[in-house]
Structure formats: structure tokens, C-alpha cells
Amino acid sequence: MIKNLQGTGVALVTPLNEKLEVDFKGLAKLLQTSNEGSVDYWVVHGTTGESVTTQPAEKKQILEFIQANNPRNLPIAYGLGGNDTSELLRQIDKIDFKGIDAVLSVSPYYNRPSQEGIYLHYKALADICPVPLILYNVPSRTGSTIAPETVIRLSKHANIIGIKEASGNLVACIEIARDKPADFLLISGDDILTIPMIAVGGVGVISTIANAFPKRMSDMVRAALNNDYKLAREHQSKLLTFHHLIAQGGNPVVTKQILAALDICKNYVRLPLAPVDTPFIERIQQEVLRSCYHVISTF
């Protein structure tokens, strides 16, 4: 049985310490904050989690830790993507999928495959993956896009259940919503476009900012799903500056800096990522103090 992957999913960061080792104390605090914020599911080892610089043994430890600190039994989606189909098939064969409810797989990057190549890539993964697959379209990172026509072709595969759409192209999202099967999940991959995505047929978001403000994001998404767009916009307005900061300074770097300002985890990242400069850090700290300090419980 497929668990519910609607509402607010959190693309979890991977907290690190000053030695750039996984900070499990920070991760525990992050998970606690997330649980208290009533989010609906977690995404582990996605872009926000710095999956490309996390080693296989670390990924296993992180997943097991998250599973052991999941009192609400939230569904877990596992990030697994790349541009070498054969290698991904080998990885799928090696992973223990116990406790994993779905795989979130970014489209092949750098080698820029054709739409037929993208289709065949995902079909090969879905054919052998023991859990349902969610497509992930983020052209700004991959250099190519999954066209709506390709999404609809893939939506007919029994083991492909949805797409995280982070292209910023609402017209494409409208086309997908129009033509997809009723049970195929259209999920926003862009926090700032979540409300319009829901308005055209989306079922929620896989969110970055929900690491820091899970309750605010969850309340926003629930309001939108209940067609209370006035309330949803009110929640979004409280997060707008943080969306702009992340867009300017990059994710997960700025996301971690916001978390550091909230004393949830440290801001360390692994190369080639690097922290933002001191003036930018001060801007983040000032915004956290201005917007959140006295109302942190409402987030």
C-alpha cells in the first residue's frame, strides 16, 4: 500500500559539524522541529540533503537514524538520481528499501538526453524499483527538462506515481494536470510557486523552507488544499523574504544558515558548496530576528 505523499514534504538538510561529519544531534533537533510542525512526509538524500557529497555508508546511517526518530511514522521518500542509468540500476539492486515508501529521482543531468532517452531512463528504473518512483524535473540544475508529453507517457507506468515539478513553468504544470491520470501526484518543487501549483491541480510541495518553518509551510499548504487561498497567501507572505534569500544565496547553503540562526543545526556544508559571506549571514540573522523571534511557536 502506498502511503500518502500529499501535503507538505520536507526536503531534509543533512546537518554537519565543524569536521564536516554528519551531525546526528543536529539531525535529531531538525526532525523534532519537523514533527512538531505537523509536516506530512520527509525526503531524504535529495538536493537539499547534499546527496552528491554524502557517502553510501553515511546515507545508510542517516536513513536508519531518521527511521528510528519517526514517532509519527511519516512516509519517507529516498533521493536516488543520476545520469548513468546502468549505475542507478546497480544501486537500486544494492539498497535495502525497508522503511522507504518511494524513490524521488532527478532527471539525468549534464549529458542532456533526448525526451526518448529520459523516457527510457525512467522506465528502466521503474521496471525494477521495489517501491514507487517519483519523477523530478529541475532544469536549472540538470540542463534539460522533462516535457509534459514525456511526463504523461511515464505516468502510465504502474510504478511511477508522480512528479516533483521545479521547472517554474506553470503552463507545463497546467498541461500535466490536464492530461495526467487522476491518481498521479503533481508536486511543487518550488516553495514560492506552491500556491499556484495547488490551484492548477497540485497536491502539495516538497519544500526547502519547511526545514526551518515547518508549521508555517504546512499551514499554508493545508489552507491552499482547502481552497482557502486568502489564508494561504497570508502564511506565504511571512515566508517571502526567506524565499528570496534562498534564491539569492542558494540552497542548501542559505537554508542551513537560516537553521543556524534558529539554533536548529549548524551552517556547515561540504565543498564545492561554501558558506555565504558575513554581510549575507547578518542579513539572514536580522530577518530571522525581525520576522520570527517573538512568534517562533507559530512556525
Across the chain, mean pLDDT equals 95
136 in active site = yes
pLDDT for 2 equals 59
**In the chain, pLDDT over 70 holds for what percent of residues?**
96
CA 120 centroid distance within chain: 24
**pLDDT per position as a tens digit, 251-296:** 999 999 999 999 999 999 999 999 999 999 999 999 999 876 544 4
pLDDT at residue 296, as a whole number: 43
Instruction: Confirm whether 1 is domain-assigned.
Output: no
Structure confidence at residue 299 as a pLDDT band (50, 70, 90): very low
Read off the pLDDT of each residue in 148-162 and give the average, rounded to a whole number: 99
**In the annotation, is 229 catalytic?**
no
Q: Please list the residues that pair with 11 across neighbouring strands.
A: 43
State the average pLDDT over residues 232-246.
Answer: 96
Within a domain: 2: no
* Cα dihedral 11, 12, 17, 21 sign: negative
pLDDT, tens only, 107-154: 999 999 999 999 999 999 999 999 999 999 999 999 999 999 999 999
Domain annotation covers residue 146: yes
Distance between CA atoms of 18 and 20, rounded to whole angstroms?
5
Quick one: cell of 12? Answer: 531534509
User: Which one is catalytic: 164, 180, 215, 256?
Assistant: 164
**77 part of a folded domain:** yes
- Domain-embedded: residue 258: yes
> For the domain that residue 101 is a member of, what is the CATH number?
3.20.20.70
- The amino acid at residue 225 is L
E-strand spans in the chain? 7-11, 41-44, 76-79, 102-106, 133-137, 160-165, 185-188, 204-207
Output the pLDDT for position 3: 60
Strands 204-207 and 160-165: what pairing?
Answer: unpaired
Q: Residue 294 has which C-alpha cell?
A: 517573538
Classify residue 14 as exposed, middle or buried by CB count within 10 Å of its CB (0-12, 13-18, 19+): buried
Query: What integer pLDDT is reported at residue 292 of this predicted model?
Result: 61
Count structural domains, the chain.
1
Catalytic entry in 136, 180, 215, 268: 136
pLDDT at 27 over 50: yes
- In the three-class reduction of DSSP (H, G, I as helix; E, B as strand; rest coil), residue 44 is classed as strand
- The pLDDT assigned to 290 comes to 86
| Domain annotation covers residue 275 | yes
Q: How far apart, in whole angstroms, are the C-alpha atoms of residue 237 and residue 292? A: 13
Does residue 14 lie within any of the structural domains?
Answer: yes
Structural domain containing residue 164:
7-298
pLDDT of residue 1: 42
283 inside domain: yes
Confidence at residue 33, expressed as pLDDT on a 0 to 100 scale? 97
DSSP string, 214-259: HHHHHHHHHHHHTT-HHHHHHHHHHHHHHHHHHHHH-TTHHHHHHH
